[in-house]
């Protein structure tokens, strides 16, 4: 490949990423990251099972059903966001102190991304890669923070200033 071809490829990739960013926005990138994590987790989990001589189609199907359930949960969160937005934006008696676009779905997506990342790291260890202990701890801590934020949104914790 000559230099002009490489520059053309780089420019095309950059333009595609810019167009995708403009179209998806930050929320769309969360969805892309989650889907990528789903795929990588399934592949690394299958590879780890093959390495251990424990791969079975029944377990692989269970993994797909598990991921299908997660997809349904994210869709439910997106529908809940859509419904809340409709109510807040169209019923004058219902107001929030901020503009509502999305709230539930991003929190749910981040929770699932962290869950998948934890599984990917675990699979990497099963494949023989050394895993820094702090990586797993940070993923667990982040997931705990998202859990706490979700609980707070749902009214599961009393506010400290009351």
Residue identified by tokens 């506010």 is: 159
Report pLDDT digits (tens) over 62-79.
999 999 999 999 999 999
Question: Does some domain include residue 126?
Answer: yes
Question: Does some domain include residue 124?
Answer: yes
CA distance linking residue 44 with residue 131, whole number of Å: 14
Question: Does some domain include residue 8?
Answer: no
Give the mean pLDDT of the chain.
Answer: 88
Task: Give pairs for 134-139: CB < 8 Å, separation 24+.
Answer: 139/114
CA distance linking residue 43 with residue 129, whole number of Å: 15
pLDDT, residue 137, reads: 95
pLDDT at 159 over 50: no
pLDDT, residue 121, reads: 97
Question: Does some domain include residue 11?
Answer: no
Question: Does some domain include residue 19?
Answer: no
Question: Does some domain include residue 3?
Answer: no
pLDDT, residue 98, reads: 66
Secondary structure element (H or E) that encloses residue 115, with its range: helix 104-126
pTM: 0.79
If one counts the domains in the chain, the total is: 1
Across 30-34, 36-40, 156-160, least confident range: 156-160
3-state helix, strand, coil in the chain (%, to 5): 80, 0, 20
CA distances, 47 to each of 39, 56, 69, 83, 116 (Å): 12, 11, 22, 40, 15
pLDDT at 10 over 80: yes
Question: What range does the domain containing 116 cover?
Answer: 25-153
Question: Does some domain include residue 67?
Answer: yes
């Amino acid at each position: 490949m000559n230099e002009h071809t490489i520059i053309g490829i780089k420019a095309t990739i950059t333009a595609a990423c810019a167009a995708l960013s403009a179209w998806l926005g930050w929320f769309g990138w969360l969805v892309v990251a989650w889907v990528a994590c789903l795929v990588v987790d399934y592949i690394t989990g299958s590879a780890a099972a093959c390495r251990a001589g424990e791969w079975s189609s029944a377990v692989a199907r269970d993994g797909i059903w598990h991921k299908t359930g997660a997809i349904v949960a994210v869709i439910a969160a997106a529908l809940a966001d859509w419904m809340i937005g409709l109510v807040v934006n169209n019923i004058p008696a219902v107001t929030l102190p901020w503009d509502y676009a999305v709230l539930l779905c991003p929190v749910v997506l981040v929770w699932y991304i962290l869950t998948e990342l934890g599984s990917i790291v675990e699979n990497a260890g099963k494949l023989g890669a050394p895993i820094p202990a702090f990586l797993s701890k940070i993923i667990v801590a982040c997931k705990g923070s998202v859990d706490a934020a979700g609980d707070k949104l749902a009214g599961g914790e009393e506010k400290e200033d009351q």
